[in-house]
Structure 1
Amino acid sequence: MRFAFSWGGIGSAVLVLTGVLASAGQTQAQAQAQAQAQALKPFKDDLFAYPAILSSEGGDRHRVVDYSEARDIDQRDEVPERRARRQFVSTGVRKVQEDIALETGIGTIRHFAVGKPDGAAIITMYLHGQGGSRNQGVDDFTFGGNFNRIKNLMVANRGLYLSPDFSDFGDRGAAEITALLHHYAGRSPEAPIIVACGSMGGALCWKLARDPVIGPRLGGLLLLGSLSDKNFSTSAAFHARVPVVFGHGGSDKVFPVDGQERFFRSITAKAPDYPTRFVRFQTGTHGTPIRMTDWRAEINWMLAQSR
């Protein structure tokens, strides 16, 4: 779908539909062609692709991925959990990275923007968890270089990557993120918006999903070692069939994987054809999905889902 926004301040907006991908009379071939046109081009796919798939079900809607600290941390990092090896990182992307203080009606929002601030083909935003900051989402060398990869993927595909600060995981934080999306969506009105939420940041993902304007505008939600929302099925995003991908460590002690898998299965039980899938990193811990999620594979899957 393509949308344009007309905003009247925080919490008040008019959503104007300018084009519908699956409009009456459009052929399946046309829809597939547009999905392929939106697909992200490769960037270091050989290094960041998932290791062995231990099991899968439902046409890859639920996958268990092999995970090994010896391979996925010790061999990938020059300094374990602190500095990825050089081949996993391309720092030239810093040339188009800005640390911005945006003045809005709700206050100043500090954030990093990487890529095209205007006319972006796609926007991806990362929302950090408890104790994090905007710096986490642009750190080139932590988490095995995976944040560096998403930055490079956005820049290579004429996109924009955002990593903001926010006050809390409640209503004020959600209002700040809404204001930031207001600003950039207005400058790239046709860009699908992917929001990835790490750990407690998921509380903001679910608040965005419930927003009657933002929810339907989203191109996808990516929950990384995060929490669930029992009311998701009543949200605007659910009714708009916004794709949702879960990445979770099989040994996560902060948000145990069993609870998140039950939540995933509750979505598919309520709506068997809902566009959602689950990636379980066997033996992985709380931070594993941030390190191991294949950004390109999951975003391309979300972009390919028709509504």
Structure 2
Amino acid sequence: MRPASFSVFRPLSLKEAVGVLSENDDAKVLAGGQSLIPMMKLRVFSPPKLVSLQRVKEIQPKISDEGGYISINSLTTYEDIAHNGDIRQKLPALAKAAGEVADQQIRNRGTIGGNVCHGDSAANLGVTLLALGATLVIEGVRGERKAGIDGFHTGPFSVALEHDEVVKRFEVPYDNSSKQTFMKISKTATTWPMASVAVNISVSGSTVAKARIALGVAGPTVLRAHRAEAYLEGKSLSADVVAKAAELAVDGLNPPSDIHADSEYRAHLLKVLTRRSLESLEV
């Protein structure tokens, strides 16, 4: 199918971009276009106006180690993230998640900002950044603000941005005691995951000091497994502890059903992925 007709604005700065958005309530932001354009072709979305961010100078691809966190500009591509040395060393779950997005063509074009702000619970980077506790730096007509990734996803394809706001960059914390990974199950390497899990734990000696477990395709948004996280703290990752944490991660969940998996099967996949993720960490 072809999308409905639309016009495109191509601002050169963030100030110009948010100004255009504030004056056009029917406009939608376009980053890499790897999620939005296919949905426009299917007429899921039919915005009459797009605001392309490709020329906005402040958010061009850039990754930098700021001491305690990695800063990643919004137009940074999956490919840039997957192969960046600092990210591979300090945020290996993020490098893995980016490297497993769809195929090479999409990884060359798709961006971290577009992926997260699209608000799809199946997206690799959204679930991984939730586990990593990322902070978003956001620009709007009222100025700059920061927001934690927790609570940023508010519903299916819905995020906590005002219409005239754009995410400038992501600040992703790291520490030397962190053990982390990302895992997903999909029918093929290029299809959307049926389920995904990202795990990030800080360790003290041989025990878990702090844990963050994020679940993808577990509900209308990416979700934290709070009960499993609380259970793990202060414990060693024995087989029994890992098995119990995996059970708690899906306890009470009601994942969506679709043509790929019903709710019960998807909950089973999430449980298996949580167990495998914890087992893979060398503590």
Give yes or no for TM over 0.5: no
TM-score using structure 1 length: 0.29
The structure whose RCO (Cα within 8 Å, separation 6+) is larger is 1
Q: TM-score, normalised by structure 2?
A: 0.31
